[in-house]
Amino acid sequence: MASDWREALMKKHKKLFFHKGNPTFIGGIACGEGWRPLIETLCEYIQFNIDNNDDMQGKIVRIKEKLAGLRFYYEDGSQRAYDAINFATALSYHICEMCGAWVDKSAHDPKAVWKLTLCKTCEAERVTAHVHKLMEVARRQKKKRKCGTP
Ligand SMILES: [Zn+2]
């Protein structure tokens, strides 16, 4: 199942996700698997600095995609952790959220911000899937009309 990597990640980083002072975690990681290495590396880096460099044990509140970028909501952490999160967010605008491929796009294109960050292949698959969905809806409506449903 596609959600397995998310569960595995949360289990691996219990201190970040289920820290005793973390009743605020809104379960789940709401983004595609393409960003998995980015999120995993971020969790490892943050926890390493907590365990070895006296950083404060912060807590992850939520991880999701918003306006084509990674949003990694983290509370009570160190400046080092927030710097790393900002860098990962900047990188996420260049990594396909579905497959992890590098995406060549201008981070400063205002139109690009409203779309998902996808490589050309994943974008094409998404468009194809969307067209199929529309065709299916049209087929069903046609069927309905034939049956005499208003
Ligand atoms: Zn892709």
Q: Which two tokens stand for residue 112?
A: 């690009």
Rounded CA separation 108/58 (Å): 31
pLDDT value of residue 1: 46
pLDDT tens per residue across all 150 residues of the chain: 445 888 889 889 989 987 666 655 666 689 999 999 999 999 999 999 999 999 999 999 899 999 899 999 999 999 999 999 999 999 999 999 999 999 987 655 666 556 789 888 998 888 888 888 888 888 888 887 776 655
What is the pTM assigned to this prediction?
A: 0.80
Residue 34 CA, ligand 1 centroid: distance in Å: 7
> CA gyration radius for the chain?
20
Distance CA 129, CA 148 (A): 29
Taking the centre of ligand 1 as the mean of its atom positions, its distance from the CA of residue 123, in whole angstroms, is 7
Question: pLDDT value at position 120?
Answer: 87
Whole-number Å distance, alpha carbon 29 to ligand 1 midpoint, is: 19
| Residue-level pLDDT at 113 | 56
CA of 103 to the centre of ligand 1 (A): 8
Q: How far is the CA of 125 from the centre of ligand 1 (A)?
A: 9
| 36-52 helix and 4-12 helix, angle to the nearest 10 degrees | 10
Q: Where are the domains of the chain?
A: 4-118, 119-150
Nearest 5°: the CA angle 113, 85, 57 is 145
What pLDDT, in 10s, does the model give residues 32-48? 999 999 999 999 999 99
Report d(CA 141, CA 6) in Å as an integer: 37
* Residue 4: per-residue pLDDT: 84
